[in-house]
Amino acid sequence: MRNIIRASFAKRPAILGSLRNGFVAHVRTPPSSPFRTLFTRTSAALQHEERIGALECGLDERSDEVLKTKHRGLSVIHDPSLNRGSGFSVDERERLLLRGLVPPRRQALEQQIERVMSTYERQRTDLDKFQFMSMLMDRNTVLFYRILMDNFEKLAPIVYTPVVGEACQKFHAIYRRTRGMYFSIEDRAHFRTMVYNWPVDDVDVIVVTDGSRVLALGDLGCNSMNIPIGKLSLYVSGAGISPTNTLPVVLDVGTDNEELRDHPLYLGLPRKRLRGDEYISLIDDWISAVRHRWPNALIQFEDFSSDVAATLLKRYRHKHAPVFNDDIQSTGCIAVASVLSSLRARGLEPSDIAHEKIVCAGAGSAGLGVCEAIAQAIEAEGQALEDAYNRFYIVDENGLLGTGTHSKNESPTRRKFRRSDLPAGLSLKEVIEKVKPTVLLGLSGRGGLFTKDVIKEMAKHVDVPVIFPMSNPSTASECTAEQAFDWTSGRALFASGSPFGNVTMPNGVVKYSNQANNVYSFPGLGLAVTALRISCVTDLMFLAAARTIATLLPDEDVQKGLLFPGVNKLRNVSVEVAASVAQVAIDQGLTGNVLPDSALKSREGLTDFLREQMWEPKYGHIVAG
Ligand SMILES: NC(=O)C1=CN([C@@H]2O[C@H](COP(=O)(O)OP(=O)(O)OC[C@H]3O[C@@H](n4cnc5c(N)ncnc54)[C@H](O)[C@@H]3O)[C@@H](O)[C@H]2O)C=CC1
Ligand SMILES: CC(=O)C(=O)O
Ligand SMILES: [Mg+2]
């Protein structure tokens, strides 16, 4: 990889500095930006090259990006952000010394897509498809993202849940090429210097995992790298974060997965997981090193096991902003959105969230995060927070969280949800019998937990049972869409963490399967944080985003059982999420960038501004530096 700098207009001074230092520049400014003229004037050489690039591009619609590189020949082809395979223009072939290194006939992006997709279709298994897409990502960034975006519904389940889970389990066996950064216990003394091994100055979003709880697949240690890679590919495809400005990270602190640890091909440190104070202090060191180099980057904590997830969030969220935990906060966001949208589907008002009776299976960081977020949404409707907690019954592997003996180390959040009105330890079905819930949530990671008995019991007491098995991957889903509709005679409203197809009932009526996954939340958050340089991620931002997601579909769609737009509309959803997050940040005084007046005057101005910041997978102009 080479040094590459992408310019959004907010970062212009940094770019100019980097250009002076001889780095590669990757410049994108909105056509209307006042800085565009300023920037182009400042760099005369670039202006000249850009004009030549624009003149000679006949085949594709080019983006206004300008990539300036010192590379020539094969090193251009081997850099995925510069490579365009058979798509290099005649002039690029000349200037970048590519003559003879690529086949003679130049092809348009559309022809490249056709070839890649026909090869993709020939892949036999989902894992083969995952590997094919990974190799494409390693080869040609624009082509990868164009294809991912144009076929999002088909490919998101491959690069993300569920297939990314299998790809992590088999990472040691299928590993081909490095991507992202690994920080291991053995590197600890070098964290401060090794961050400078990454070639990009302008990192906007970092997704970091320690692999301690990958989906519901447990501790996968260093094998977890595909999770941050997958999440970041959704930031890019779903919210237009520039791929160059993303950084996937694995913290290798060992693994307690013995089978993996003892496997001769395992790529992480073959040692037990670091725990306790030493673990926290290592994360402190990592955060401090990262902040030294990238003080403004958004850090997303991903798939940290529940024993540390909330602790780390609390430790860094106000001190080293902007930081958030995806499994706790963005899952909370989509769960609130799902409940709010289900209220619309049931002909109720948002304020009726205060009357829900919610049973949640799973008291890990995701389950508690979701319940806490819904409790906050109830409070925002004017209820006392204690009353809000009273709407929940949480069941874990030992049954209902009740009062009685519990560990001294129990988190305050978990303690708040303990019930004194029912015996501790009641089974899920017993709780449903007694409580007669309106909403059933699954964040247990236990595939099939919502049995026919459980769902039928739920359906006895409500006309429209709201059933959200949110665990991932598909094998860990508490029930399938087909089961939920079959066992409720089609009355359920359904949303799952991993995608299921819609279900056609015996009478021919189609029942909709929604995907309640945090993918609806984090990319838009990232867009807002990056575009406005938000300094701290707050719970209010997630609540605002949830309310927005719940209102994106028209009434007639919601009445059919659709809760939010399909994932193929993710870019539009993300702009709306970003606008809501941005508005909260503006109101809370948490923005570092000065916005143009138009963005401050109206919601439309704000969304237009955000849309202009989004990276598009189109071939830009490569100029020789
Ligand atoms: N849809 C989405 O966007 C997201 C889904 N998730 C999913 O949520 C699940 C849980 O994640 P974490 O809380 O981090 O995991 P965790 O392993 O910390 O928590 C699992 C919880 O389920 C409970 N549990 C286990 N067996 C149970 C049973 N038979 N009945 C009731 N409860 C049982 C455990 O006691 C524990 O409280 C995972 O499958 C994860 O993939 C997580 C984040 C986002
Ligand atoms: C979706 C996600 O973040 C999870 O299942 O952990
Ligand atoms: Mg996760």
Per residue in 567-577, pLDDT tens? 999 999 999 99
DSSP symbols for 524-579: HHHHHHHHHTBS---HHHHHHHHHHHTTSS-HHHHHTT--S--GGGHHHHHHHHHH
* Of 317, 325, 374, residue with least CA distance to 210: 325
Pick the CATH number of 111-320 from 2.60.120.430, 3.40.50.10380, 3.80.10.10, 3.40.50.1000: 3.40.50.10380
Burial label, 410 (beta-carbon count in 10 A; 0-12, 13-18, 19+): exposed
- Catalytic residue of the set 120, 145, 160, 619: 160
Percent of the chain with pLDDT over 90: 86
* Average pLDDT in the chain: 91
Report yes or no for ipTM above 0.90: yes
Q: Is the CB of 517 under 6 A from ligand 2?
A: yes
Q: How confident is the model over 416-461, as pLDDT tens digits? A: 999 999 999 999 999 999 999 999 999 999 999 999 999 999 999 9
> Among 189-203, 251-265, 272-286, 394-408, which stretch is predicted with the lowest mean pLDDT?
394-408
**Per-state percent for the chain, helix, strand, coil, to nearest 5:** 50, 10, 40
Asked whether the bond before 350 is cis by omega within 30 degrees of 0, the reply is no
Fold topology of 522-612 = Rossmann fold (3.40.50)
Residues of the chain with CATH 3.40.50.720: 333-517
Minimal-distance CA residue to ligand 2 atom 6: 215
Ligand found nearest the CA of 498: 1
* pLDDT band (50, 70, 90) for residue 409: confident
Find all residues with CB under 8 Å of 578, minimum gap 6, and list them.
239, 524, 525, 527, 528, 531, 607, 610
Minimal-distance CA residue to ligand 1 atom 19: 364
Q: Is the CB of 329 under 6 A from ligand 2?
A: no
Residues of the chain with CATH 3.40.50.10380: 111-320, 522-612
Burial label, 61 (beta-carbon count in 10 A; 0-12, 13-18, 19+): exposed
Query: Which pLDDT value is given to residue 410?
Result: 87
Say how many C-beta atoms besides its own lie within 10 A of residue 190's C-beta: 13
Looking at the structure, give the CATH architecture of the domain made up of residues 333-517: 3-Layer(aba) Sandwich (3.40)
**Residue 306: pLDDT over 60:** yes
Cα–Cα distance for residue pair 619/517, rounded to 1 Å: 31
Q: Is the CB of 583 under 6 A from ligand 2?
A: no
Active site residue 235: no
* pLDDT band (50, 70, 90) for residue 63: confident
| Span 533-540, average pLDDT | 97
**Residue 37: pLDDT over 60:** no
Residue 361 pairs with which residues in a beta bridge? 395, 442
Residue 184 pairs with which residues in a beta bridge? 252
Query: Which pLDDT value is given to residue 408?
Result: 75
Percent of the chain with pLDDT over 70: 90
Find the 326 Cα to ligand 3 centroid distance in Å.
Answer: 6
Contact between 464 and 346 under an 8 Å Cβ cutoff? The reply is: yes
**Residue 47: pLDDT over 50:** no
Q: What is the DSSP letter of 495?
A: E
pTM: 0.92
* pLDDT band (50, 70, 90) for residue 234: very high
